[in-house]
Amino acid sequence: MITELRDLKMNTPKINEPQALLTIQDLRVWYELRRFGFGHAGYVKAVDGVSFALAEGETVAVVGESGCGKSSLMKTILGLNIPTSGEVVFDGENLSGLKGDGLQHYRFKVGYVQQDPYGALPPFMNVQKILEEPLIISGMKSREERLARIHKVMSEVKLHPVEDFLKKFPHMLSGGQQQRIVIARAMLREPKLIVADEPVSMLDASVRVEILKLLRALQESHGLSVIYITHDLSTVKYFSRRIFVMYAGSLIEKADTRQLLGNPLHPYTHALLAATSDPEARNAETFKEVPPGEPPSLVNPPTGCRFHPRCPRFMAGLCDVKFPPDLEPEPGHFVACWLYQ
């Protein structure tokens, strides 16, 4: 495995932004595959050489088709997955050095909004208990203090009147209300970063925009950094300044939203944008996510450029042999494709 790693280490450019809140350096998250419970059978390379930096207050969208490793990347940032290699530095602290209490404190600074709000809320706790838990864990002893904080955050996520919701259980709330609770829970401890993993994909089309606008409002009023994961490019423009396109475990294109939507460079991004026929689409049914061709295997990914079997501009002898490095054809617009060499 060590030699494999060495082979894969590419000349990824060092990212040195002065006020970066989050810096990720050549991150790999490999899940070990076991045969019949024991015996090594390879790795699922869910995240394979990802680097980027996120400034304080910056919003970024990560897009990519299902199974490309978006959630694995985010769970690593949240400290839920242990990185196989690479570094995650948050607010000057290296995540891999953190254990026990340190890791717990790190977690207080990051909020997590999951895809399925109903699943994300313990069904046997009422709203008050759900929201008290993170506060109790972070050591807020006084009940009055906790309730005051809960009241404040609940009105921020527009659950009015607060008292009507406190004693309700998740199944008594609508999907939109549930997601507001999840967002409130993420906001409780005044985090610096919110990771929102497809926060609206399971909601009714009618409430999606509301939730996205709420996230945007919170981001602006609190100066939050937000990583917004989606496979729906049509929702990106709501608040993301930058877009990262992810394919088979790596980020193949990184650019400002306008740059990327106006001038997509990577053939995969082209395909993705073409598939999103109507970027205004509010309705999931009209949205086609997948560009033509089979998604790649993450256990045995294609050699060279991971996209080459599906790429219309595939160059034999190059693309299928060498992994393309991050290139920067225009300032701030990175793309991993040999076309731009």
Ligand X SMILES: Nc1ncnc2c1ncn2[C@@H]1O[C@H](COP(=O)(O)OP(=O)(O)OP(=O)(O)O)[C@@H](O)[C@H]1O
Q: Which residues, numbered 255-274, are part of the site for ligand SF4 (CB under 6 A)? A: 266-267
Amino acid at 223: G
Convert residues 86-115 into a mask of x (bound to another protein by CB under 8 A) and - (unbound).
-----------------xxx-xx-x-x-xx
Could you say which of another protein, ligand X, Mg ion, none residue 314 binds, taking C-beta under 5 to 8 angstroms by partner kind?
Answer: none
- Give the Cβ contact number of residue 291 at 10 Å: 22
Radius of gyration of the chain from its Cα atoms, rounded to whole angstroms? 21
Write the CB contacts of 145 (distance below 8 Å, at least 6 apart in sequence).
none
Out of 136, 313, 321, 328, the only residue in the binding site for ligand SF4 (CB under 6 A) is: 313
Based on the shown chain and the rule CB under 6 A, indicate whether residue 70 belongs to the binding site for ligand X.
Answer: yes
The nearest distance, CB 339 to ligand SF4, in angstroms, is 5
Amino acid at 46: A
Q: Which residues, numbered 285-304, are part of the site for ligand X (CB under 6 A)? A: 298
> Contact 238/230 with Cβ under 8 angstroms?
no
The nearest distance, CB 24 to ligand SF4, in angstroms, is 22
With CB atoms as reference, the residue minimizing the distance to Mg ion is 71
Q: Which neighbouring-strand residues pair with 161?
A: none
Of 43 and 90, which has the nearer Cβ to ligand X?
Answer: 43
Out of 56, 93, 133, 289, the only residue in the binding site for another protein (CB under 8 A) is: 133
CA distances from 66 to 28, 44, 78, 212, 248 (A): 18, 15, 20, 21, 10
Convert residues 72-91 into a mask of x (bound to ligand X by CB under 6 A) and - (unbound).
x-------------------
Based on the shown chain and the rule CB under 6 A, indicate whether residue 71 belongs to the binding site for ligand X.
Answer: yes
Strand order in the sheet with 110-113: 110-113, 193-197, 225-230, 59-63, 242-247, 250-256, 333-335, 327-330
d(CA 249, CA 45): 7
Binding interface with ligand SF4 (CB under 6 A)? 266-267, 305, 307-308, 311, 313-315, 319, 324, 337-339
